[in-house]
Amino acid sequence: MSRLLLILSHVPVFAAFIYSVSVYRNVGSELKPLSWYLIATGTIHCISLALWFLHQNNLPLLHILVPMRFVLLVMMYSKILSGYVSAGIMYLLTGTFLIYSLISSLFFEQIDTFNSNVMTVENILLIILSLSTYVLLMDKRLNKHLGKYMKSVEWMNSGVFLYHSSSLILMYFGKHIIQILTPEFNRYIWGIHSLFMNVMYYCFWRALWKRNTT
């Protein structure tokens, strides 16, 4: 049963991956980073699932996944917020995060362990970017700048905010939850986290789909 649930929890991820590949050539440059995100993360999730079935440690993949998805989302936000946030600030944010992630993996959270510290920082930074985008979306100049991609940006931004907000809560309280709650209840907590991840991938799929319906 646990294997079936694990596979089912990955269905939205793989569905978004397949859709992103199928429409890649028709996606405009504004949404290319989102396509790259879905393709890259879908590939890593597939490898991770295979390693799990082979009873191999798949946590090292997380040390690749987290900085990679952060870079791709910052690239997306850099395009969205161009004219409001300079590219130099985005490059600095990305570079600093990558250096921090590398240092953490080498000296603090070994690659065969869960990199919760890096994920916590990632969540905080992406929540800030997401909230900033919500505020700036009220500016008519940004609406004009985004044009037909306005709905896509709204879907993408909502997915980022929902997932990384829930992930931040889990990262913050995770150690306490594991110590206090029963193993069965802990599985329910992680199941909720997986649900929010699927919601994010649904939002990302909608963002790509909306590019042709606005």
Using pLDDT thresholds of 50, 70 and 90, give the confidence band for residue 202: very high
44 or 109: whose pLDDT is higher?
A: 44
**Maximum CA extent, the chain:** 52
Nearest CA to 133 among 122, 145, 121? 145
- Counting the structural domains of the chain, the total is 1
Q: Secondary structure of 19-59 in the HEC alphabet?
A: HHHHHHHHCCHHHHHHHHHHHHHHHHHHHHHHHHHCCCCCH
| pLDDT tens, position by position, 186-199 | 566 677 778 899 99
Output the pTM of the full model. Answer: 0.90
Contact present, 164 and 144 (Cβ < 8 Å): no
Q: Token pair 């990632």 is at which residue?
A: 122
In DSSP notation, 125-168 reads HHHHHHHHHHHHTTSHHHHHHHGGGHHHHHHHHHHHHHHHHHHH
Tens of pLDDT along 62-86?
999 999 999 999 999 999 998 888 9
pLDDT band (50, 70, 90) for residue 210: confident
Which residue, chain included where needed, has tokens 């080498």?
106
The parent domain of residue 169 ranges over 2-210
